[in-house]
Amino acid sequence: MLSLKTLLYTLLTASSVIANPVPARDPSSIQFVHEENKKRYYDYDNGALGEPIRGVNIGGWLVLEPYITPSLFETFRTNDNNDDGIPVDEYHYCQYLGKDLAKSRLQSHWSTFYQEQDFANIASQGFNLVRIPIGYWAFETLDNDPYVSGLQEAYLDQAIGWARNSSLKVWVDLHGAAGSQNGFDNSGLRDSYEFLEDSNLAVTTKALNYILEKYSAEEYLDTVIGIELINEPLGPVLDMDKMKNNYLAPAYDYLRNTIKSDQIVIIHDAFQQFNYWDDFMTETDGYWGVTIDHHHYQVFNSSQLESSMDEHIKVACQWGTGVLDEAHWTVCGEFAAALTDCTKWLNSVGFGARYDGSWVNGDETSTYIGSCANNDDITSWSEQRKENTRRYVEAQLDAFEMRGGWIIWCYKTETSLEWDVQRLMYNGLFPQPLTDRQYPNQCNTTSS
């Protein structure tokens, strides 16, 4: 059985079109809450910011991911030989601890992992936006959910205030749906794909509508310039027509015709091919303010990991050219500097890494490509690896700035080097300033 991550990059599905699009107002007739919002819908290169989005994800904070904060999960370890007993996601973390103890530990994490100084640092480093993931369970829960609920909202509000104080813009990202939209640990619940079951859809929709109503109000529009309806729905295994008709379209209708807000709507591409969304919610059909969010990585199957550096660069540049004729404004909402999958638990608890041949998921295994030893110790990196990482980062930035811009995953981790922008910058592997190039014009020669 193929792993989920492999499935993302190998399965293709036929396009499906929304059957009954909701009525949408003509954007030329709209009275914008903020006059500058007009620019978001007609400047497809730079949006509201007057420049490409250059952002970072606030990952592993309000939605746990074991590889970002392994210390929270290591406390469950019972032996050094395997990961048996370690919770694989936030759902099981809370279930194992019980709500009272989980609440105590999570509040300590939420209060310390990000501080206002982090947001000030992000701004001083040249970034202009933060994307903040949050789960549905922060607002609504199913009857049998073990999640801690009702507390994350205050931290999100505080973070939006920190962003405002540092002149950063914000995307609020609904990162986890009831029943899980993708089966990944980053949805809150691994190995489940029940997002579109009616009871789960109702709870997720209720949470989303609350987010839309609150963070599209005038008091937030100066800072929150987009709301992502759901992160990374796994299109190849979901009913795309149902997701469009029963979730995405009603959310747009609620925002435009009930709340009457001019907030940007962000739709993740659901791991579909470029141009898949060109016939869904376009301005030609009377929809407006819709952005497609593409996520790009090259570490979640063995063939990608085995690629040469020139092949990695070529793929990165094609990510840029691939969106140039898409019907919507587009942004790359996630990508990384990583060229291996060596970071512990990157592939989720218990699975190992493909790069060093330790990957095991059911009957699926991997073959050795290279060592993961001391992967997070920069002193163990060769000069060639450092140069390749910087080169890869720069190619991606150039590619994504061909259109709307980029938001790297993620700003900080506890231990990882490849997935931690702060560490990458400190070690000269990420440009400072962001427009600095040691390897200029890579996409001019490799993107054909």
Residues designated as active site? 232, 334
Cβ(216)–Cβ(259) under 8 Å? Answer: yes
- Map residue 378 onto helix, strand or coil: helix
Using omega within 30 degrees of 0 as the cis cutoff, is the peptide bond preceding 410 cis?
yes
Those residues with Cβ within 8 angstroms of residue 303's Cβ, 6 or more apart along the chain or in another chain: none
* Number of residues that this document lists for the chain: 448
What radius of gyration, in Å, describes the C-alpha atoms of the chain?
21
Cβ(244)–Cβ(270) under 8 Å? Answer: no
Those residues with Cβ within 8 angstroms of residue 382's Cβ, 6 or more apart along the chain or in another chain: none
The dihedrals phi and psi of 155, each to the nearest 5 degrees, come to -70, -40
| Residue 53 host element (H or E) | strand 53-57
- Map residue 280 onto helix, strand or coil: coil
β-partners of residue 228 are 173, 266
Distance CA 141, CA 149 (A): 7
Q: What is the maximum alpha-carbon separation in the chain?
A: 64
Q: What percent helix, strand, coil does the chain show, rounded to 5?
A: 40, 10, 50
Distance CA 400, CA 428 (A): 21
Amino acid at 427: N
Quickly list H helices, 168-293. Answer: 198-215, 218-221, 240-243, 249-253
Cβ(292)–Cβ(333) under 8 Å? Answer: no
